Amino acid sequence: MAAPVKSTVDTPTSSVQNLTIGKALNLGLRRAMEADDKVIVMGEDVGKLGGVFRITDGLQKDFGEHRVLDTPLAESGIIGTAVGLAVRGYRPVCEIQFEGFIFPGFDQISSQVAKLHYRTQGKVKVPIVIRVPYGGGIGAVEHHSESPESLFSHIAGLKVVSCSNPVDAYWMIQQAISADDPVLFFEPKRLYHSGALKAPVDTAATPDPLFASRVLRRGDAATLVAYGPSVKVCLDAATAAEEEGRALEVIDLRTLSPLDLEPVFESVRRTGRLITVSEASAESSLTSEIAARVQQECFYSLEAPVLRVTGFDTPYPPSKLEEHFLPDLDRVLHAVDRALDW
């Protein structure tokens, strides 16, 4: 391996930068590569093109082709190669171009990435990050708009996280890369370049722990729990509800496996009502798990059943119909009305 190549991009003098989620991820990857020359980025079109969503833009130019690798169109090969690199001491960061393309690599992820540390009784570490752009809202066809995070959250040995804002995007990708466990990093692709979510990111701040949920907005009427692209929907719903005199508490899960539900339990014990929101289908999902756990821990505090606002239990629809498939402000507020009217 050649000597580490430092970024040639000028660093702003201020530690605070106004970034979109996409730019924050790019900067986070850059910082991780500067900090450790064992970090390697690999995937389809991540080099010269900078990825189809331009998240890796400029990295190959600044760090070289030996650290930012354009791979063949073979997800199983990408993940399998990453396993070999991890065993040899590297920290591979794999990009799956779209979430629907991940399944040719599912065997490698579930049988090797998730199990190798346990199989070797802790002798072998597998510090792999698998970046997965996921979710709908970009006008694409099936295999480009799904939400398969529940499948991977069920696999023992994997850590699964999802960012919803630029601050978390910047810090969480670096924390995932520095972790010794394999991490699936789900990124809400429709929010990559959203100007509405552009926010100041203090690159000198102390970040929250990676595997911790966060209360984003306090309230006492009902609790909204979401992650990834659905967090913005819940925050918008809380703003709309405030105009009607209803204070909704909003919690961003951030970590999907392991789940950090203590803040959710504490909130539900105060509000007595819970609505979980996700683009994924409802059956056998993370929203199912949250509902079951809250029912176990907060049964005597609940004033209404736990309600779920999700995608439907169907294949992802054509783009002209996706606005009816995805949870939106109206569907969330309707669930709030049902919970409060119980």
**Is the torsion defined by CA of 313, 304, 332, 152 positive or negative?**
negative
Is beta strand 159-162 parallel, antiparallel or unpaired with respect to 255-257?
Answer: antiparallel
**Which residue numbers are catalytic?**
144
Q: Please report the pLDDT score of residue 13 as a whole number.
A: 52
pLDDT digits (tens, 9 = 90+) for 21-41: 999 999 999 999 999 999 999
pTM score of the predicted model: 0.94
User: How is residue 312 written in tokens?
Assistant: 């439907």
Q: What is the mean pLDDT of the chain?
A: 95
CA 231 to chain CA centroid, Å, is: 11
Domains of the chain in start order, with CATH, are: 16-202 (3.40.50.970), 214-341 (3.40.50.920)
pLDDT digits (tens, 9 = 90+) for 183-216: 999 999 999 999 999 999 999 999 999 999 999 9
pLDDT digits (tens, 9 = 90+) for 301-313: 999 999 999 999 9
Q: Please report the pLDDT score of residue 14 as a whole number.
A: 73
3-state secondary structure of 13: coil
